[in-house]
Structure 1
Amino acid sequence: MVIKKPWKKILYENQPYPDNYTDETFLRDLRTNIKLVSLSEAIWGATLLLEEFCTVIAFVLIYVYLFNEWVRPEAIFNISSVLTAASFVLYRFLYTKDVKNRFGHDLRTVLIFVVFGYLFSPVLHTLTDTISTDTIYTMTFFMMVIHLIFFDYGVSAAVVSNSLSLSAAIFASICLASRLASAYHAFIFITVAIELFVLFPLLRSKVKSFYVIGSLFLFDAYFLMKSSMLFMMLFILTAVFINIGCPTFFIRYQKYKSNIYGPWDEAIVDDADDAINEQCNKVE
């Protein structure tokens, strides 16, 4: 009588068992739904979505105020520049190393953007001038939806694409810039778009606080109230649905999940954007 050796979950050793053989111990480590989300975690995740939604609303409000000439473009440029400079100092001195060398690189980048942005603003202002206004607004709406869908909210998922999300936001800003009064307005509007969609997310990824979302929410609600009470109410209802309604429904229905975790090897797909972000963090 031949006694077989005990079966092991290995591939580098010849065993007297078929390749697809498993014994009764294989499923001992089987677990189901071990990664349930708590209500506080769900609310915080929804807050990240609400934060970016408020950023998009602020972007649209700035366009509306510039388009209707309810505010001088210099005022928007000065306020946004002061806030960006203060945020830059906070980000560099608290969250990065080698501040002196990075400061010179950042200063050159800002000067290049300001010079070339101002020189090419007449081109950007007339780039989509021949397209109808309704088409411009429709494209802007869909670009903002794409931006919100593919934005990086800190969740490792295949749908996340920083490049696509940023490209959609910049394309929307170029589309809207053609409807402003002058190339100078277009330059300021695109500058604010860069600050909101390129620089602001970098700071928010480090400063994770409810003060940021609170300030954004109050800013949007106040200026929506001055322009339209109906839109302000819709904005508040949407914010409540995102930050309270969605987490509540998620927690209520996550018990119906049927995710299994066991001793088998699971395939993991690497995201190209994640690899790029890791390299950028190492450089900083």
Structure 2
Amino acid sequence: MANRRNKTKKLLQLAKVTWKKNLYENIGFPDNYTDVTFLENLRRNVNKVEITFLSAVCGAGLVTQEICSVILFVIVFMYLHCNWIQPETVFVASSVATSIGYCAHRQVPDKGHNRLQVYAKDAKTVVIFLVFGYVLSPILHTLTDTISTDTIYAMAAFMMSVHVVFFDYGLSAAVVSSCLSLNAALFAAVCLVSRLASPFHAFVLLTCAVESFALLPLLLVQWRGSALVLVATVALTVLALLSVSLIITVIFICAALFITVVCPLWFLQWQTHKDNIYGPWDEAIIDDTHWE
């Protein structure tokens, strides 16, 4: 009887006390006790963003677009390696294309500088690169000459894969590293130049590497997510691959369709099953945006 009276007394005391979400103020309540107000602040999918199929395709197309850049560079190497084209022709064609892209990129000068200052600074950079690149091309041509060809191709393929994985596609993620991506592509180019016929061939290929992996992304960032640029890049890659191998062209088309169409469809389908919940059990986040 005494134990029953004590339990009844405790229940009556707890009934008069209001439960709070602060654990240290809930004296007498069990640690796992909650009332009906606990789930009042339950929220679902707070930061969910509705993505259309076209935007998903354009986002995935950035990966396809960078893969196309790598393939086009490799095709240039094959043409130079097999003597299917003269290095002078490649150098002139790439220089003309780069000049056109530069004019499109410099339509609006930098703030605080006039056009003459910007052009003079860029011309100085180009001259320095051409002079040092041409002078150092004999050294770079023989730098990896003693390494076997199979090892060179394996290293180049691995470095190009690193370039594609760590490339900056416009997302803030831990895996993104523009420096690592660029250095990996240039390292792959240095590996490949040792298999060319002359130092001038090496100079031309390194110039194409800088234009493809350092300058071209600066131009394409202005049209990032453009379906027209994606279609043009894929079409150019298909035409270039047709001159090399029909089987590889078919494999590339299938891979491009998988990355650009199938993966976005899977993403949109899985997006419908997203169900993130937010409530009092989450860790407290200090909002210091209003602090000075």
TMscore range, shorter length: 0.7 to 0.9
Residue in structure 2 matching 1:50, options 64, 70, 89: 64
Indicate yes or no: 2:158 matched with 1:145.
no
Unaligned runs of 5+ in 2: 1-15, 287-292
Indicate yes or no: 2:92 matched with 1:78.
yes
Matched residue type, 2:199: A
Indicate yes or no: 2:47 matched with 1:30.
no
Task: Please name the residue that 2:4 is paired with.
Answer: none
**What do residues 136-161 of structure 1 show as CA deviations (whole Å, max 9, x unaligned)?**
11111111111111101011111100
Q: Report the TM-score, using the length of structure 1 for normalisation.
A: 0.82
Indicate yes or no: 2:181 matched with 1:165.
yes
**What do residues 206-257 of structure 1 show as CA deviations (whole Å, max 9, x unaligned)?**
1233332222212211121111111111111111111111111111122333
1:184-203 counterparts in 2 under 5 A? Answer: 184-203=200-219
Residue in structure 2 matching 1:92, options 89, 106, 121: 106
SS in 1 for 2:83: coil
Q: How large is the RMSD of aligned CA atoms in angstroms?
A: 2.8
Inter-partner Cα distance in structure 1 for 2:17 and 2:125: 69
Task: Please name the residue that 1:280 is paired with.
Answer: none
**What do residues 68-108 of structure 1 show as CA deviations (whole Å, max 9, x unaligned)?**
01111111111111111111111112374433322211111
Higher Rg of the two aligned structures: 2
Unaligned runs of 5+ in 1: 10-15, 268-284
Task: Please name the residue that 1:234 is paired with.
Answer: 251
Aligned residues of 1:95 and 1:206 also touching (Cα < 8 A): no
Matched residue type, 2:76: I
Distance 1:72 1:257, change over 3 A: same
Residue in structure 1 matching 2:170, options 154, 160, 174: 154
Aligned residues of 2:58 and 2:227 also touching (Cα < 8 A): no
SS in 2 for 1:94: coil
Inter-partner Cα distance in structure 2 for 1:261 and 1:102: 51
Indicate yes or no: 2:150 matched with 1:134.
yes
Residue in structure 2 matching 1:217, options 230, 234, 244: 234
Inter-partner Cα distance in structure 1 for 2:82 and 2:124: 34
Indicate yes or no: 2:117 matched with 1:104.
no
Distance 1:214 1:258, change over 3 A: same
Task: Please name the residue that 2:261 is paired with.
Answer: 244
Inter-partner Cα distance in structure 2 for 1:108 and 1:17: 70
Inter-partner Cα distance in structure 2 for 1:74 and 1:115: 16
**What do residues 101-133 of structure 1 show as CA deviations (whole Å, max 9, x unaligned)?**
222111111000000000000011001000000
SS in 2 for 1:251: helix
* Total equivalences in the alignment: 260
Inter-partner Cα distance in structure 2 for 1:207 and 1:37: 19
Task: Please name the residue that 1:40 is paired with.
Answer: 54
Inter-partner Cα distance in structure 1 for 2:148 and 2:248: 24
Deviates more, 1:95-104 or 1:177-186: 95-104
Percent identical among aligned pairs is 44
Distance 1:137 1:259, change over 3 A: farther
